[in-house]
């Protein structure tokens, strides 16, 4: 079956139309290409296909540099040049804000490129199949694909992970490798460490039995424990910090809320400019790291617990809010509480355009105005994009509604 693809969609596929009018989503293709496909999934309103042959290739098509591309689920955009990847991410982001947030011609800025497009990840999650082979999840599948090369991890991880060999087991396993700024390695098993006797041997051989690493961002060192989240691409994280420093006005009388604070990445750069900084973080490990990372700032306090429980208890009038939620975005109760608090400005950092657009729609309906949409390429060669949205309140507190759609 021949199909001509029209545009990218969030998730890395291109979409075209079947003869019966249904949309068909096909990975590893580019807009404008005519492709011979086979259907692998059919629903009433759409279908999914697999490209069998590129009949009319796009001028933007390039040869992927990793021979696992297409089978491995880690990358989605290696078949086009980097400038085209950035353009695709911008178009997809605009599409999400138009269709989900209801914004006509969304003012999405050009994607800020990554300084490094390979060997940029300081953290990698590896899977071990029942045969003991190390790999990643396959594209759109839970199957583990053994791999012999990967161009995403920083070089210290790249140099050691091919040395990992595991004995067969009755179940699949997973572990994480983290690399600190000074090339210190931390190996973290997912689940019971007794399932990974070999990992203990590697930890001893690599002196990697530590439970934290140090990450340096704009000359500030952060303790990051094994159970704590941290950005995987330090240069792009630094670009986001600079962007916020240039965009958010602070004064020593202001109160800042750092929602989903992690180990205190944002608090560390802004607490000194505030009278009080309140952080909210679910992870006990991250809260412990926060206390160490913000030890020189007594005005910064991390409240450990879920945002929906902690946020209503905070009796503070926040001027600025920085929110960096999980991929699922803000829970309805959290968003309602945030709107009731009525901060003057909100900086929303997100790795998921669809949930970001959903929450922005609700904030606009509650009386906020959209100031900027700035995407950052935190994850080159994937469809993922990190986006910073800046909003400001445009009506008085007593006129803000909280009736969310």
Q: Which residue, of 167, 190, 217, is where some domain finishes?
A: 217
Tell me whether residue 324 is annotated as binding: yes
What's the pLDDT score for residue 345?
Answer: 98
Specify the number of domains making up the chain.
3
Residues 207 and 242 in one domain: no
Helix (H, G, I), strand (E, B), or coil: what is residue 129?
Answer: coil
Tell me whether residue 120 is annotated as binding: no
Residues 382 and 278 in one domain: yes
Tell me whether residue 46 is annotated as binding: no
- The one catalytic residue among 14, 66, 72, 351: 351
What's the pLDDT score for residue 402?
Answer: 53
Q: Rounded CA gap, 144 and 161, in Å?
A: 16
**In terms of residue numbers, what domain contains 328?**
233-399
Q: Rounded CA gap, 357 and 350, in Å?
A: 10
What's the pLDDT score for residue 207?
Answer: 66
Based on the residue annotation, tell me whether 130 is a catalytic residue of this protein: no
What's the pLDDT score for residue 316?
Answer: 86
Cβ proximity of 90 and 111 under 8 Å: yes
Tell me whether residue 231 is annotated as binding: yes
Residues 179 and 209 in one domain: yes
User: Is residue 395 in a domain?
Assistant: yes
Q: Rounded CA gap, 180 and 174, in Å?
A: 20
User: Is residue 87 in a domain?
Assistant: no
Q: Rounded CA gap, 346 and 338, in Å?
A: 10
State the 10-residue block means of pLDDT for the chain, 405 residues long: 96 96 98 98 96 97 97 97 98 98 97 98 96 93 94 96 89 94 92 83 75 96 96 99 95 94 98 96 98 98 97 92 97 96 97 98 98 99 98 70 54
Residues 189 and 263 in one domain: no
Q: Which residue has the tokens 């929110």?
A: 323
Residues 138 and 188 in one domain: yes
User: Which of 10, 15, 140 lies closest to 74 in space, CA to CA?
Assistant: 140
Residues 378 and 325 in one domain: yes
Strands of 96-236, DSSP E: 123-128, 134-137, 144-146, 173-179, 185-189, 212-217, 220-225
Q: Which residue has the tokens 């068909």?
A: 24
Residues 282 and 203 in one domain: no
């Amino acid at each position: 079956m021949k199909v001509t693809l029209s545009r990218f969609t969030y998730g890395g596929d291109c979409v075209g139309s079947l003869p019966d009018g249904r949309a068909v989503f096909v990975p590893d293709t580019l807009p404008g290409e005519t492709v011979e496909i086979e259907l692998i999934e059919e629903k009433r309103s759409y279908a999914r296909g697999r490209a069998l042959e590129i009949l009319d290739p796009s001028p933007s098509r390039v040869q992927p540099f990793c021979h696992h591309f297409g089978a491995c689920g880690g990358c989605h955009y290696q078949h086009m040049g980097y400038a085209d990847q950035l353009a695709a991410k911008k178009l997809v982001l605009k599409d999400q804000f138009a269709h989900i947030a209801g914004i006509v011609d969304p003012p999405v800025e050009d994607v800020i490129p990554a300084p490094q497009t390979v060997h940029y990840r300081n953290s990698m999650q590896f899977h071990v199949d029942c045969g003991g082979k190390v790999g990643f999840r396959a594209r759109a599948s839970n199957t583990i694909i053994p791999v012999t090369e990967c161009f995403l991890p920083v070089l210290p991880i790249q140099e050691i992970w091919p040395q990992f060999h595991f004995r067969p087991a009755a179940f699949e396993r997973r572990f994480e490798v983290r690399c600190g700024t000074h090339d210190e390695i931390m190996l973290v098993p997912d689940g019971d460490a007794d399932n990974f006797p070999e990992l203990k041997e590697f930890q001893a051989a690599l002196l990697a039995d530590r439970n934290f690493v140090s990450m340096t961002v704009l000359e500030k060192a952060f303790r990051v424990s094994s159970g704590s989240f941290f950005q995987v691409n330090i240069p792009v994280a630094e670009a986001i910090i600079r962007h916020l420093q240039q965009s958010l006005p602070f004064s020593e009388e202001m109160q800042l809320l750092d929602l989903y604070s992690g180990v205190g990445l944002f608090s560390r750069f802004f607490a000194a400019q505030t009278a009080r900084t309140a952080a909210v973080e679910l992870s006990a490990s991250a809260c412990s790291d926060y206390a160490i990372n913000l030890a020189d700032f007594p005005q910064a306090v991390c409240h450990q617990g879920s945002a929906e429980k902690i946020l209503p208890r905070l009796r503070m009038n926040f001027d600025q809010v920085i929110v960096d939620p999980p991929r699922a975005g803000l829970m309805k109760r959290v968003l309602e509480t945030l709107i009731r608090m009525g901060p003057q400005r909100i900086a929303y950092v997100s790795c998921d355009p669809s949930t970001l657009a959903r929450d922005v729609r609700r904030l606009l309906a509650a009386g906020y105005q959209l100031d900027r949409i700035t995407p950052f390429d935190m994850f080159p060669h994937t469809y993922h994009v990190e986006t910073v949205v800046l909003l400001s309140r445009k009506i008085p507190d007593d006129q803000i509604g909280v009736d969310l759609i």
